[in-house]
Amino acid sequence: MAKIKVEKKLKSKHKKKAYSAEQKTRRNTRTAALALWALGSLCLLVLLGQLITLLTRFYNPLTPSMTDGSALRWDGKSSFSVAVKVDTLAVVNYDPVNRKLTVLKIPDETFLSLPKGYGGWPARSIFDLGQAEHPAIGSKLVRSTLSNLLGIPVEGFILIPPTKGTSSLEQVLAKIHHGPLGLLLSLNKIQSDRTGAELVRLVQGIEAIREDNTKIIDLADSSITESKLLADSTRVLGVNTIKLDLYIRENFKDSNFVNFDGGIAIFNATNHPGLAQDLARVITNMGGNVISLSNTSSNIDTSLVLASPDFDPINMTYQRLAALFAPTCLKSTCESSDPRVLSSRAQINIVLGEDYYLKKNDRNYPF
């Protein structure tokens, strides 16, 4: 009997140990499952955060510090000129209507006149000069300088750090034509005042353009520039503006002006002489037909773009000019009571206010 009791005690002890081990295994399994669930949740949150960051960068300027948010959004359907810096500066003009790509390379030693009283500097120094300001304005200074040089709106800036295989703009374009995926995946290394979505549209558009519709000109190899000696004996490249304008008018026409054969009148409604002539050069280089320049009888603060009574303001040319020079006229109807403007026979009338002068000359006014 004693032996049987001992055996029962041993069996009971073994059962308790087995049960305890089973409970421990279950607890360990539950703990492992909870740990895996927590790890999975954490990974999901990290991926979700990265996705949100990617989407934010995709639909917002890649480099927010490069823009004040006032840039016009580009839908990929109209001409687009953007400054690009890889090894040197260049202006890339993409024309989706005529499926053409024109690239104007600007050598480092090209001597350019900067806006807002920054003086004359070689092209290589412009971005760094702007970045030294507080806050940094490198991209804005480059855009504004090149807009003044070419006499057309330069509406974006892209800074591509030179790497193996993309150390020049030509190599970047070649990479786009041979498969742009790698370049698009490198968006996190690219700085720009344009959105990721706009850059994707631009890359896709360039990829679709045939090689025979791509034109690249280096100012150093053209008759547009000539060697020039500065007062300090520095040798630079000077730009012949007349020759440059002829080249721009032939190769950088804005597709929004293609089907517009009407006239454009420009009025200076400020005390600053020369503004109408300055804008006339821009509109002519874009492909517009300026038929008259005049002054108004009174001054205004905010510029206007007005359509004549018999002209449809939904017209692409009007929309483009209003977006560039008087965005408020796209939100509500603009009017002028000036008798000279009212008697104009042009289909589109641009009245330049004090804001146009300040944008070009006052450092405290946004670019």
CATH number assigned to the domain comprising residue 338: 3.30.70
Note the pLDDT of residue 2.
54
Alpha-carbon span 344 to 8, nearest angstrom? 116
DSSP helix/strand/coil, 214: strand
Instruction: Report the alpha-carbon distance of residue 364 to residue 241 in Å, rounded.
Output: 28
Residue 295 lies in a domain: yes
CB atoms within 10 A of CB 170: 15
Both 145 and 269 in one domain: the answer is no
**Residues 286, 101: Cα–Cα separation, whole Å:** 15
Fill in the amino acid letter for 71. A
pLDDT at 55: 59
pLDDT band at 183 (very low <50, low <70, confident <90, very high): low
CB 159 within 8 A of CB 192: yes
Residue 126 belongs to a domain with what CATH number? Answer: 3.30.420.590
Q: What is the mean pLDDT of residues 285-298?
A: 96
Query: Helices in the chain by DSSP H: which ranges?
Result: 2-59, 126-131, 138-150, 169-177, 181-185, 196-207, 241-251, 275-286, 316-325, 328-331, 339-342, 354-361
Q: Which of 216, 231, 251 is the last residue of a domain?
A: 251
What is the model's pLDDT at position 89? 97
Q: Specify whether 246 is located in the same domain as 111.
A: yes
pLDDT at 7: 55
Looking at residue 348, its amino acid is I
Task: Give the pLDDT mean for 66-80.
Answer: 83
Across 157-166, 231-240, 323-332, least confident range: 157-166
Domain boundary among 251, 279, 307: 251
Answer yes or no: do 299 and 349 share one domain.
yes
From residue 159, how far is each of 23, 87, 121, 188, 232 by CA, in Å? 62, 10, 19, 11, 31
Domain span at residue 354 reads 256-361
pLDDT for 14: 58
- Average pLDDT value for the chain: 88
- The answer to whether position 366 is within a domain reads no
Model pLDDT, residue 103: 97
Which of 251, 276, 293 is at the close of a domain?
251
Structure confidence at residue 1 (pLDDT): 55
- Give the pLDDT mean for 16-37: 68
Same domain, 244 and 133: yes
Check pLDDT > 60 for residue 107: yes
Residue 136 lies in a domain: yes
pLDDT of residue 49: 64
- The answer to whether residues 264 and 225 belong to one domain is no
- Alpha carbons 322 and 316: distance in angstroms, whole number: 10
Distance CA 353, CA 213 (A): 39
Report whether pLDDT(56) > 90. no
Query: Greater confidence, 307 or 29?
Result: 307
Q: What is the pLDDT of residue 181?
A: 65
CA 264, chain centre distance (Å) = 27
Whether 153 and 234 map to the same domain: the answer is: yes
Give the single-character DSSP code of 72: P
Higher pLDDT, 29 or 255: 255
Q: Are residues 44 and 114 in the same domain?
A: no
> Quick check: 192 pLDDT over 70?
yes
For residue 58, the model assigns a pLDDT of 73
| Residue found under tokens 């498969």 | 179
**What is the per-residue pLDDT for 167?**
85
How far, in Å, CA of 33 to CA of 31, rounded?
5
Q: Rounded to 5 degrees, what are φ and ψ at 354?
A: -60, -30
CA atoms of 334 and 77, how far apart (whole Å) = 26
| pLDDT score for 79 | 92
Largest CA distance in the chain: 128
Give CA–CA dist 104/107, Å, rounded.
10
- Domains of the chain: total: 3
Q: What is the mean pLDDT of residues 126-138?
A: 95
Whole-prediction pTM = 0.84
Same domain, 307 and 352: yes
Question: Does residue 19 register a pLDDT over 80?
Answer: no
- Asked if residues 91 and 202 have their Cβ atoms less than 8 Å apart, the reply is no
What pLDDT shows up at residue 48?
A: 66
CA angle 26, 31, 35 (to 5 degrees): 150
| CA–CA separation, 112 and 230 (whole Å) | 12
Q: Comparing 38-42, 79-83, 120-124, 138-142, which segment has the lowest mean pLDDT?
A: 38-42
Which tens digit of pLDDT belongs to each residue from 240-283? 999 999 999 999 999 888 788 899 999 999 999 999 999 999 99
138 confidence band (pLDDT: 50, 70, 90) = very high
Residue 12 has pLDDT above 80, yes or no: no
As a whole number, mean pLDDT of residues 200-217 equals 92
Q: Is the dihedral of CA 70, 74, 78, 79 positive or negative?
A: positive
* Cα–Cα distance for residue pair 14/2, rounded to 1 Å: 18
